[in-house]
Amino acid sequence: MTHSATRDTPGTPDSAPGTTRRRGHPLGRLLRHPMAVVCLVLLALIVAASVCAPLLTSAGPTRATLADAFAPPGGGHPLGADSVGRDVLARLLYGGRVSLLGGFIAVAVALLIGVPTGLLAGYYRGRSDAVISWLASLVMAAPAIMVLLVSIAAIGPDTNATMAVLGIILAPGVFRLVRASVTSVREELYVDAARVSGLGDTRIVRRHILPVVQAPTIVQSAQMFGVAVVIQAGIEFLGLGSAGQASWGAMLNDAFANLYTKPSLLVAPGLAIVITVAALGLLANALRDALLETGAPAARRPGRPGAARPSALPAGGDDSLLAVENLRVTYPARDGERTVVDGVSLTVRRGEVVGLVGESGSGKGQTAFAILGLLPPEGRSEADRLSFDGRDLRGLGRKERNALRGCRVAYVPQEPMSNLDPAFRIGTQLIDPMRRHLKVTAREAREKALGLLERVGIAEPERVYHAYPHQISGGMAQRVLIAGAVSCDPDLLIADEPTTALDVTVQADVLDLLREFQQERRMGLILVTHNFGVVADICDRVVVMRTGQVVETAPAGRLFAEPRHEYTRMLLDSTLEDAPPRAPLRQAPATGTSLQEKV
C-alpha cells in the first residue's frame, strides 16, 4: 500500500494468516467449546435446583428443630442438619436463590449504569466523556469494602440493596470496557461511511457499535457474576446480610461457629460457592475464546535452538571461518511443519563480506538467527554442518554458546530502537558484555565503551553513555548497537538489514562504519539485506535466497555482470532506477512455495 521499505520480520515468522476467521454463529462456536458446555450445564443445574427448591425438598430453610442439631446425613436430612437443626440441603437450595438473585442484581445494575454511559462517552466524547470518566475513576479509587460497609451502615443490612451497591462499584469497569470498544470502532472507516451516508446516530450505534460492544461485555458479565457471588457470601458471612434468610454465606458462618465440633458443615456451602464461581470464571474464559477470538497462541514446547541431527561429517577442515551446510529451519504449523529455511549452504572466510540477499520472507533473516542460535523457542534448526572456526556449533550447550556469542560472533540488528533495553542506560548495556567476555574492570570497560562511542562517530560520547535509549535518535542507536557488537573484537559479524530502518542520509555512514570495522579487524561479515545497492557497495560475495533456498552464490562482480539465475536477474532488474520497482516480481513463475505478501 505504502512504499515503506520491505523488511524481514525478524524472530517469529509471520503467523499463518487468514486461518482464524469467524466460523459460524457465535452460539454454535460456544457450544463446540467443551469447557463452555460443561460450565453452562453446571450453571443450568444450579439455577434449576435453586428455582425448584420447594420441589426438591419439603424441609424449610429456616425451620429449626433443635432435636436434629448436627444430625448426620441420611433420613430426614439428606445432607444432615446444622447447629440448630436446620436442614442443610434446604438451606443450600434456598441459599442458591439468594446468591443467584444477588449476582443478577449486581450485574444488572453494573450493566445498566456502565453500558449507556460507556456508549455516550465513547461515541460523543467531549465534555460528557470527561465528566463520566472522572466519576468512574473516582468510584474505582474508592476501596470496595469501604463503599459496601458505609452503604450497609447507611441503608441497613439488606442483601439485595448491598448487591445493588456492588453493581455501582462494578459499573466503572463496564464503562471503561464499553467506552474503549466504542472508541476503537468509532475510528473505523465504516462508521464514518455510515455517517456520511446519512444514518442517524441511533442506527449507527445499533447496527455498528453495539455488536462490537456485546462480546466483551458478556465475558465481563460472567466474571462480575462470580465476583458478586463471592462478595455476597462474604457479606453474609460477616452477618451483614438480610436477617432470617438462608444463604451460602450464612451457612459458612454457622460452620465457622462450629469449626471445632462439626467442621464438615463447611463442605456443602463451600462447594456450592466454589463450583458456581469456577463455572462462571471458566465460562468467561470460554466465552472469550469463542466470541472474541483472541487466538491466544497455544503453549508450545520450546524447541532447542541450534539442536541438530548428529552428523558424521567432521567439523572444520578448511580455511573457512563459518561453514553452513544444508541448514533447515522449521516452525510448527497447523498442518505439521512449515519450513522457512530449506537446505541453505554458505561459507564465510576471514575478512570476507558475504551478502545474504532476498526479498522479505526469503528466509535470509531466519538463516542468520539459526547461525547465531537465536531462533525463537518454537523454531527448530538442523544442519549437516554448522561450524565456526573449526568448532561444531550444533551440539554446543548454552554456556559454551554464550561464551562464543558476543565475543567471537556478534550481531547487529535491523531495528535500532527496539533492540536496546529501554530500562537501562546505554553505558550499562555496552559494559555488561565486555565485563563478561574480556574480564575487564568496570573502569576499563567504561573507558573502552566511551572510546567505542567516539569511534562510531557519536559527537558526545559522555552524554550518550549516560542516556537512556529513548533519549537518542535511531541513527545514534544503530551506532551504539554497532559499537556493542564490535566491543569484544568478534571474528564474525552478522548484520541483519543494518540500514533498513535508518534515514537515507545515515545509511551510507553506517555502511561505511561497518566496512571500516570489517577491514580494520579482518572480520568476516554477513550482511543480510534486500538492497543490491548495499551489496554492490561492500560485498565480496553474494548469496541470493528465495523462499528458503539458495538460488545463486557468486562473487559480487560476476553476479552483477552476468546473473545466472532468472530470479537474480529479476531482483537486479527491479532495482534499476527507471524500471517499475516491483512489477516484474509479481510475474515471476511461482516455483515451490509462493512468495509471501510484501510491502
Partner 1 sequence: MLTFLVRRVAAGLVLLYVLATTAFAMMSLTGTDAARNIAGTMATPEQITAKRHELGLDRPWISQYGQWLAHAVRGDFGTSWFGGDSVSESLVLKAPVSLSIVVSGLLLATVLSAVLGVAAAVRRGWVDRVVQATAIVGYAVPSFLMALMLSATFAVQLGWLPATGYVPLASSPSGWLRSITLPAVSLAIGAIAATAQQVRGSVIDVLRQDFVRTLRSRGLSERRVLFRHVLRNAAPPALTVLSLQFISLVGGAVVIEKVFGLPGVGSAAVTATVNGDTPLVMGVVVYLVLIVVAVNLLVDLAYGWLNPKVRVR
Alpha-helical (H) ranges within 206-358 are 210-237, 248-257, 267-287
406 binds partner 1 per the rule CB under 8 A: yes
User: Given the rule CB under 8 A, which of 115-123, 326-334, 423-431, 519-527 is the region that contacts partner 1?
Assistant: 423-431
411 binds partner 1 per the rule CB under 8 A: yes
Choose which of 12, 15, 184, 594 interacts with partner 1 (CB under 8 A): 12
Choose which of 121, 170, 240, 495 interacts with partner 1 (CB under 8 A): 240
Q: Which residue has the cell 559522555?
A: 462
DSSP string for 379-420: -EEE-SEEEETTEE-TT--HHHHHHHBTTTEEEE-S-TGGGS
| Contact set for partner 1, span 52-71 (CB under 8 A) | none
Distance CA 93, CA 47 (A): 9
For residue 87, give the DSSP letter.
B
User: Given the rule CB under 8 A, which of 43-51, 145-153, 177-185, 339-347 is the region that contacts partner 1?
Assistant: 145-153
Nearer to partner 1 among residue 237 and residue 517 (C-beta): 237
Choose which of 398, 521, 522, 558 interacts with partner 1 (CB under 8 A): 398
| Contact set for partner 1, span 364-383 (CB under 8 A) | 369, 372, 374, 376
C-alpha angle 207-213-219 in degrees, rounded to nearest 5? 140
28 binds partner 1 per the rule CB under 8 A: no
User: Given the rule CB under 8 A, which of 214-222, 225-233, 382-390, 555-563 is the region that contacts partner 1?
Assistant: 225-233
User: Given the rule CB under 8 A, which of 211-219, 309-317, 422-430, 511-519 is the region that contacts partner 1?
Assistant: 422-430
Nearer to partner 1 among residue 54 and residue 302 (C-beta): 302
Distance CA 532, CA 545 (A): 13
397 binds partner 1 per the rule CB under 8 A: no
Nearer to partner 1 among residue 237 and residue 567 (C-beta): 237
Q: Which residue has the cell 579482518?
A: 522
Tell me the three state secondary structure of residue 456. Answer: coil
Choose which of 149, 215, 333, 570 interacts with partner 1 (CB under 8 A): 149
Number of residues that bind partner 1 (CB under 8 A): 82
234 binds partner 1 per the rule CB under 8 A: yes
| Contact set for partner 1, span 100-119 (CB under 8 A) | none
Query: What is the smallest separation between the CB atom of 546 and partner 1, expressed in angstroms?
Result: 25
Is the separation of the CB atoms in 314 and 373 below 8 Å? no
Nearer to partner 1 among residue 151 and residue 568 (C-beta): 151
| Contact set for partner 1, span 426-455 (CB under 8 A) | 429, 432-433, 436-437
Choose which of 281, 390, 457, 581 interacts with partner 1 (CB under 8 A): 281
| Contact set for partner 1, span 302-331 (CB under 8 A) | 302
Nearer to partner 1 among residue 124 and residue 424 (C-beta): 424
Query: What is the smallest separation between the CB atom of 174 and partner 1, expressed in angstroms?
Result: 17
Nearer to partner 1 among residue 143 and residue 336 (C-beta): 143
Tell me the three state secondary structure of residue 492. Answer: strand
198 Rama sector, left if φ>0, alpha if ψ -120 to 50, beta otherwise = left
Choose which of 16, 45, 131, 145 interacts with partner 1 (CB under 8 A): 145
Tell me the three state secondary structure of residue 496. Answer: strand
User: Given the rule CB under 8 A, which of 51-59, 112-120, 266-274, 308-316 is the region that contacts partner 1?
Assistant: 266-274
Is the separation of the CB atoms in 71 and 262 below 8 Å? no
Q: Which three cell numbers stand for residue 173?
A: 469497569
Amino acid at 279: A
Residue 234: how many other CB atoms lie within 10 Å: 16
Distance CA 203, CA 197 (A): 12
Choose which of 196, 312, 423, 504 interacts with partner 1 (CB under 8 A): 423
User: Given the rule CB under 8 A, which of 101-109, 184-192, 197-205, 396-404 is the region that contacts partner 1?
Assistant: 396-404
Query: What is the smallest separation between the CB atom of 273 and partner 1, expressed in angstroms?
Result: 6
C-alpha angle 486-365-552 in degrees, rounded to nearest 5? 105
C-alpha angle 27-30-33 in degrees, rounded to nearest 5? 155
| Contact set for partner 1, span 458-517 (CB under 8 A) | 468, 470-471, 481, 484-485, 488
User: Given the rule CB under 8 A, which of 94-102, 140-148, 446-454, 549-557 is the region that contacts partner 1?
Assistant: 140-148
Nearer to partner 1 among residue 132 and residue 204 (C-beta): 132
10 Å CB burial of residue 561 (0-12, 13-18, 19+) is exposed
Query: What is the smallest separation between the CB atom of 458 and partner 1, expressed in angstroms?
Result: 18
DSSP string for 179-216: HHHHHHHHTSHHHHHHHHTT--HHHHIIIIIHHHHHHH
Query: What is the smallest separation between the CB atom of 451 and partner 1, expressed in angstroms?
Result: 18
Angle between helix 126-141 and 159-186 (nearest 10): 140
Cα 587 to Cα 133, 382, 590: the distances in Å are 54, 33, 8
Query: What is the smallest separation between the CB atom of 370 and partner 1, expressed in angstroms?
Result: 13
260 binds partner 1 per the rule CB under 8 A: yes
Give bridge partners of residue 544 from the DSSP assignment.
Answer: 357, 552
Query: What is the smallest separation between the CB atom of 278 and partner 1, expressed in angstroms?
Result: 4
Closest among 312, 122, 93 to 217, alpha carbons compared = 122
244 binds partner 1 per the rule CB under 8 A: no
34 binds partner 1 per the rule CB under 8 A: no
Tell me the three state secondary structure of residue 503. Answer: coil
| Contact set for partner 1, span 282-301 (CB under 8 A) | 282, 299-301
CA 84 to chain centre: 54
Distance CA 1, CA 362 (A): 20
User: Given the rule CB under 8 A, which of 50-58, 238-246, 343-351, 385-393 is the region that contacts partner 1?
Assistant: 238-246
Query: What is the smallest separation between the CB atom of 282 and partner 1, expressed in angstroms?
Result: 6
10 Å CB burial of residue 144 (0-12, 13-18, 19+) is middle
Closest among 84, 101, 94 to 56, alpha carbons compared = 94
| Contact set for partner 1, span 152-191 (CB under 8 A) | 152-157
Distance CA 86, CA 70 (A): 9
